[in-house]
Structure 1
Amino acid sequence: MSQSTPLDSEDLPTNTSSNEHFQSVVNRAVSRRGFFKTGLGLSAAAFMSGGLSGCIIEVNPKPPAGPLLGFTAIPTSTDDSVAVAPGYTATVFAPWGTPLFSTGPGSTWASDASDDAAAQARQVGDNHDGIHYFALNGSKEGLLVMNHEYVNTRHLFADGVSNSADDAYKAIHAHGVSVIHIKLRSGKWEIVIDSQYNRRITGDTPMLITGPAAGDALMKTSADASGTLVRGTLNNCGNGYTPWGTYLTCEENFNQYFGTRSGSDTRTTAQKRYGVSGQTTGYGWEQYIDRFDYAKEPNESNRFGWIVEIDPFDRHSTPKKRTALGRIKHENAAYTLTPDNHVVVYMGDDQANDYIYKFVSDGVYTKGNDRANANLLDSGKLYVARFNDGSTTGDFMGNGEWILLDKTANATLAADARFASQAEVLIHTRLAADAVGATKMDRPEWVTVHPSTGEVYATLTNNSGRSVTDDANPRTANRYGQIVRWRETGGDAAALTFEWDIFVLAGNPNVYPDRSNLKSGSDNVTVDNTFNSPDGLAFDDAGRLWIQTDGNYSNSGEYAGQGNNQMLCADPTTKEIRRFFTGPKECEITGVTFTPDSKTMFINIQHPGEGGNSNWPEGGSARPRSATIIITKNDGGVIGT
């Protein structure tokens, strides 16, 4: 995901371990299996045809009567506007600063960005990201819950700079989550102002720390001797949800808020591994708020980098940071169920050369008994993935294994003096994954699970700094990214082994038309659907794979002809990919959710004009604002048909 400061970009690895990189595994798999350069070898039908009779997915797939992709593809765009496939309408909704209450601070929005911190705490936050629709009355009324990842300082403040404590708190309040009660009235979605459900959860909202790391010495601060109470959630990137009706917000690049004004770099090895700044930060909160100065509060940053569970139906509930799922730069959280109803959550750590994880709950999900499920995410097993090039069935490229990150059960961690307890394994998840030999990946972002087959897909958005050049991947850097997918052994999401394949290797045939050069992408990438940096990823109920990009939008050089960031849709069986939507200048397309009838889609436009060259959505000389887009089909049909 994009960031407002260049410090510790996701493209800059902090992983100094000698663990093998995924590209090396791919190279051996290609050599061993003899895959041809342009196609990556695997028959899509073969991949999708495996038996998964034991898999249980908590959805009701609705296969279409006709082709899976029923819309007409659209071309790339460099306009400062949005475009959607013919026969569809895209409507701007709930931009940054939208009031949720009719009275009090924030009841109106100041278009010159002069609103203060108190106002921002009651308005829709900035830089919309992950999003989910929770039904109240089917597809006509519900709660739209969305993340706000970070802030664009040049737009958030009237003078374009942050230079006071109130400015710092305004930025803190622009982070977090918005819970918005929405209702369909006369064919138009509206916010129910003053609803009992409307709520802002910010970087200063009281929260509980739960699970194995709660109360550990590394979680205690001068303000919280218990190690169980924390203020706020930050850098809320992708999201997830649970079958018992809660929202999961994922803390990603939390490191960028922590630095020091001490003048000395006294960071620990762990703080460096997580990318905490050795000096001051771009945001500068440490100047006004001691908890963001690691020299004054060395443990405060340990209280961020978690998945936070929120009950959207209870405005008075306390969000909970679920430490059993590990502390990383969480991109999103994709759940599924095992055949015996254990909850599995897949997660990516979004930084160059970091890892893919999964969590398997100790307890089982009880349908219809939300109280019984309330703490399922507090106890379970956390695993990290190792991808191998070993033998497989059919035409898979390789196999893999899930390595348990457990202080007692894993001999490597048991013998490692850096981890005194399981709490420390979870607080320093990255270091534990380094120690056990996990596979380095090209910035793992969103993960999603196919609604009927149970196969898992993950975006590896790019790794432009990697210098591998070989027959399998002649790119001097992975500028374009790819989507990897795997099938768990026996169709059981709790399995300890899997087989993997690359679904699509993104590229640019506009610049590299020679199909023997993988800079052009795999065979299902053409001049008509070219894209780079796949990021957001989600299946709909019918099994369409929606791909969103957050990449280079220069439309020049290596990226010529690729235009603004976009959303595409893929058929997992045929591998066909079509462009469905394009965004305004300098934006990211992110987050996707549907109403239960699949006739309304909600996505987000993040950081339009991050380089200062957009006035979307109002146009003219207006300040750019992140916003949600509501997409409907003009004939009232299902999205994607």
Structure 2
Amino acid sequence: MAKHDIDPNYMDPNYEPVVNHSDNTSFQQVLAARMGRRTVMKGTAGAALASVMGLGLVGCSDDDDDNTAGTDTGSNTDTGSSTAIEFKAVAVSTDNTVVVPEGYSAQPFLAWGTPITGSYPEYKNDGTNTGEEQEQQMGMHHDGMHFYPIDQKAGGNSSTEGLLVMNHEYINQSALHANGATYDVNGNRPADEVRKEIAAHGVSVVHIKQNDNGVWDIVFGSPFNRRVTGNTEMDIRGPLRGYEKLVTKYSNDGTETRGTLNNCSMGPTPWGTYLAAEENWHGYFANSDATQPREQIRHGVGSSSRYDWELADSGADQYVRFDISTKGATAQEDYRNEANTYGYMVEIDPFTPEQKPQKRTALGRFGHEGVIFAPAVEGQPIVCYSGDDTRFECIYKFVSKQPYYAATAGGYLLDEGTLYVARFNEDGSGDWLPLDLEDADFKAKVDAAVGTDVGSITGFTGFDNQAEIHLNTRLAADIAGGTPMDRPEWGAVDPNSGMVYFTLTNNSRRTEDDVNAANPNPDNQTGHIIRWAEADNDHTSVSFEWDIFVFGGFEGTETVVDGEAAITLTDENIFASPDGLWFDYNGRLWIQTDNGYEKDIFGNDMMLAANPETREIKRFFVGPQGCEVTGVTSTPDVKSMFVNIQHPAANWPDASDPRPRDACVLVTRDDGGVIGA
């Protein structure tokens, strides 16, 4: 999220170092053989080939009938609405306001600094709130979120009361403090500034309720209201629990850690908990050692940190831990392994505030954008997908070892299973490659790679055990042969067809020499959305068929399937850099953007609605200036929609406030109807 194609600058929170230098699956020759076949991008943005397997893909009908009934997606609701999108599209906008279609209203809600728990300290627009106060207020840079009906645990689907849970990705130091980040004459930072910055990260759980007049507000004093921050105590679960490379001064046995950071998207589990993703966590740590271990090199950990938290003038342990240089005789005496406790999906039970969050290491360690679950099937394994949001990184799937039973399901299902990486073949087929030392093919690849240079790692020394796979997931994916993608971000599973969709936001560093079938555009500034159907519509399958749903681009850009234009972008739906992705409970697909390219044409970032059956797309929402539109959820009846605005550029949403404030936007239809219909 919030990562544009800017000059590389490690101190910028948007900066993602390209650390995958492997040359997996370069398809120059096979692409040439496929010109004129399957799916082509045409238009003012240029022409490029994309692989597709149009035949046999579930949900790829050319039927123009939009009246397909919605299905239950796990929240015990079925409104019976179609996937048709009936609103009048809004125009591109550069105004410092939120734009929604005629007949809709949008109101800011739960802005950064809003008090939600504890003593409910008031937000101060001069930046003088303390670190302790920020721990009781909404965090900064709102991102992925989900609405949990208040009666969900009892099998209900309330659309008038629930828990809204959201991530806070990173911070704006200039807005957060009265005078921005400060340093003393010795180069140290005030400890309370650091405390406040750590508190502005993490997750907020907010109990909200709609009154008789349809107005939503916080349920003040609710025991569910909660902040999870960059300093909250957490347990480590799965294959890396107790592993020697997670041992720190704080946790001598490697079973605990503190905090979650850079939380982008998320994933609601089938058992009613929330998984927060840890994405660009590498920038929070500093290592001044002459050499670094591969688990830091492959992620781009540097010699200086993004916010200098390790320089807090108090010297408190909770801040010193961000210096991961070797200082003691053993790992039990310093924080050389602290960064190894980050890079996971973090499970939070919003209905059990006394429970510690759990880092689920079996899902792999990388730059998690989020996680999406396939529909849970009684007696079958749990399946979930996650993208590694960095240029030239991969898409992963996890299949649990134990089966799902609704009566007993819980986070333990995510602690054992098989982690796969996706390989997108040039003919539109795909394979899930297991990252498992017990798999003969993978083990042979690992053995063959020993002594060679693998990507950014010189002289690969092998993997001693399966724990090393989960700690070095990117490296394992390189060796397995996963396809390097154009920043795989949010995913979504179509509740009607079962197809899996992923946004590939952009990649300006892809050249003609390293295009591949699934990422066919060199200098890919506008991105695209890929989708696939698992073999036999079984999400545990190890093979799939895929196509490209739509290319982003300028007006006139066509996504051509088997010689015919499946969609041509117009002024109603031009977009660039698709990022957020979500299916509502009726099966409409919502697409959010994070674009820094040709803003004079594309305007402010936006959200569009798509019919997955017909590829019809319309612009529904445009955010204020400078923002990213990220995070979307709704009540089960799809009559109240929550959309997050991250890092607005100037005094939004309150023109009288000198500080911009990230906020959620509550969208409703004036007639009380279903949103998008």
Both proteins in one fold, TM over 0.5: yes
Distance in 1 (CA, whole Å) between partners of 2:174 and 2:3 is 13
Farther-moved stretch of structure 1 (542-551 vs 338-347): 338-347
Task: Please report how far the alpha carbon of residue 604 of structure 1 lies from its aligned counterpart in structure 2 after TM superposition.
Answer: 0.4
Matched, 1:228 2:264: no
Match of 1:541 in 2: 585
Equivalent residue for 2:546? 500
Displacement of 1:223 in angstroms is: 1.8
Equivalence map 1:177-256=2 (5 Å) = 177-185=203-211, 186-256=213-283
**Pairs within 5 Å for 1:123-522:** 123-137=137-151, 138-162=158-182, 163-185=189-211, 186-260=213-287, 262=288, 264-277=289-302, 279-288=303-312, 289-296=319-326, 297-337=335-375, 340-367=379-406, 369-370=407-408, 372-390=409-427, 398-409=428-439, 410-412=442-444, 415=447, 417-468=461-512, 476-509=522-555
RMSD after superposition? 2.8
Residue type at the aligned position of 2:261: L
Aligned mates of 1:56, 1:181 — CA distance in 2: 24
> Structure 1 pair 275/220, CA: closer, same or farther in 2 (3 Å)?
same
Q: Work out whether residues 45 and 574 of structure 1, in 8 Å CA contact, stay in contact via their aligned partners in 2.
A: no
Match of 2:107 among 77, 85, 91: 91
Q: Give the superposition deviation at 1:20.
A: 2.2
Task: Using the TM superposition, give the Cα deviation of residue 291 of structure 1 relative to its aligned residue in structure 2, in angstroms.
Answer: 1.2
Q: How far apart are residue 215 of structure 1 and its match? A: 0.6
Q: Kindly provide the amino acid, as one letter, of the partner of residue 503 in structure 2.
A: T
Partners of 1:115 and 1:34 lie apart in 2 by 57
The one-letter amino acid of 1:127's match is: H
Instruction: Name the SS of the counterpart of 2:282 in structure 1.
Output: helix
Runs (5+) with no aligned partner, structure 1: 391-397
Judge conservation of contact 2:53–2:547 (CA < 8 Å) in 1.
no
Which of the residues 18, 24, 28 maps onto 1:19? 24
In 2, the alpha carbon distance for the partners of 1:13 and 1:448 equals 26
SS of match in other structure, 1:84:
coil
CA distance in 2, matches of 1:32, 1:407: 41
Q: Secondary structure at the match of 1:424?
A: helix
Opposite residue 275 of structure 1, the aligned amino acid is: G
CA contact (8 A) 2:567 2:616 kept: no
Aligned AA (1:455): M
TM-aligned CA distance change 1:476 to 1:348, over 3 Å: closer
| 92, 95, 114: which one aligns with 1:79 | 95
**1:338–1:492 contact (8 Å) kept in structure 2:** no
Structure-2 separation of matches of 1:33 and 1:475? 16
Shift of the alpha carbon at 1:145?
A: 0.5
Map residues 107-118 of structure 1 onto 2, 5 A cutoff.
107-118=121-132
Q: Give the secondary-structure state (helix, strand or coil) at the position aligned to 2:198.
A: helix
Query: Cα distance, 1:67 vs. partner?
Result: 6.5
In the TM superposition, what whole-angstrom CA distance separates every residue of 1:488-520 from its partner, at most 9, and x where no partner exists?
0000001000011000111113xxx586999xx
| Change over 3 Å in CA distance of 1:110–1:44 after alignment to 2 | farther
Change in Cα spacing, 1:26 to 1:171, as seen in structure 2 (3 Å) is: farther
Report the AA paired with residue 231 of structure 1: R
Map Cα deviations across residues 179-219 of structure 1 (whole Å, 9 max, x no partner).
10001013100001121101000000000001111111111
Closer, same or farther: CA 401–292 of 1 in aligned 2, 3 Å: same
Deviation of 1:622 (Å): 2.3
Instruction: Summarize the Cα distance change of 1:517–1:139 in structure 2 as closer, same or farther, 3 Å threshold.
Output: closer
CA separation in 1, counterparts of 2:469 and 2:516? 38
Secondary structure of 1:546's aligned partner: strand
**AA partner of residue 430 (structure 2):** G
Query: Which residue of structure 2 aligns with residue 526 of structure 1?
Result: 570
In structure 2, C-alpha distance between the alignment counterparts of 1:434 and 1:541, rounded to whole Å: 36
Cα separation, partners in 2 of 1:621 and 1:423, compared to 1, 3 Å? same
Deviation at 1:374, TM superposition (A): 3.8
- Once the two structures are TM-superposed, the CA of residue 26 in structure 1 deviates from its matched residue by 8.3
Superposition deviation, residue 99 in structure 1: 0.5
CA distance in 2 between partners of 1:517 and 1:491 (Å): 25
Question: Which amino acid in the other structure matches residue 375 of structure 1?
Answer: Y
Tell me how far 1:47 sits from its aligned partner.
3.8
User: Percent of counterpart pairs with the same letter?
Assistant: 45
How far 1:37 sits from its partner (Å)? 4.9
Distance across 2 between alignment mates of 1:494 and 1:240: 18
Instruction: Compare 529-538 and 67-76 and name the one that shifted more.
Output: 67-76
User: Contact conserved, 1:44 with 1:572, CA < 8 A, in 2?
Assistant: no
| Aligned-pair CA distance for 1:373 | 2.6
What is the CA–CA distance in structure 2 between the aligned matches of 1:142 and 1:65, rounded to whole Å?
Answer: 23
Give the C-alpha shift of residue 603 in structure 1.
1.2
SS in 1 for 2:579: strand
- SS across alignment from 1:361: strand
SS of residue matched to 2:405: coil
- Compute the displacement of 1:65 (Å): 5.4
Q: Secondary structure of the equivalent of 2:386?
A: strand
Structure 1 residues 250, 302: closer, same or farther in 2, change over 3 A? same
Structure-to-structure mapping, 1:547-558, within 5 angstroms: 547-552=591-596, 558=598
C-alpha spacing 1:228/1:563, structure 2 compared with 1 (3 Å): same
Cα deviation 1:314-343 (Å, max 9, x = unaligned): 111110000110001000110014655311
User: What corresponds to 1:600 in structure 2?
Assistant: 640
1:432 & 1:341 partners in 2: Cα distance? 27
Please say if residues 130 and 590 of structure 1, whose CA atoms lie closer than 8 Å, have aligned partners that are also in contact: yes
CA contact (8 A) 2:381 2:401 kept: yes
| Cα distance in 1 for residues equivalent to 2:33 and 2:76 | 36
Measure, in 1, the Cα distance between the counterparts of 2:392 and 2:467: 24
Q: Deviations over 1:455-511 (max 9, x none)?
A: 0000000001222289999965100000000000000001000011000111113xx
Distance verdict in 2 for CA 1:94–1:32, change over 3 Å? same
Alignment partners' CA distance in 1, 2:163 and 2:24: 43
CA distance in 2, matches of 1:140, 1:56: 19
**Worse overlay, 266-275 or 433-442:** 266-275
> CA 1:169/1:527 → structure 2, altered by over 3 Å: closer, same or farther?
same
Cα separation, partners in 2 of 1:516 and 1:118, compared to 1, 3 Å: closer
1:570 and 2:574 equivalent? no
Match in the other structure for 2:65 = none
Task: Tell me, yes or no, if the aligned pair for 1:84 and 1:90 is still in contact at 8 Å.
Answer: yes
Given that residues 28 and 389 in structure 1 are in contact (C-alpha distance below 8 angstroms), is that contact kept between their aligned partners in structure 2? no
Counterpart residue number, 1:623: 659
- Note the alpha carbon deviations across 1:426-467, whole angstroms, 9 max, x for none: 011011111111100000000100002110000000001222
For these two proteins, the number of residue pairs brought into alignment is 610
Partner of 2:478, secondary structure, is helix
User: Any conservation in 1 of the 2:390–2:488 contact (CA below 8 Å)?
Assistant: yes
The 3 A distance-change label for structure 1 pair 220 and 41 is closer
Give the TM-score taking structure 1 as reference length.
Answer: 0.89
Task: Report the CA distance between 1:97 and its aligned residue.
Answer: 0.6
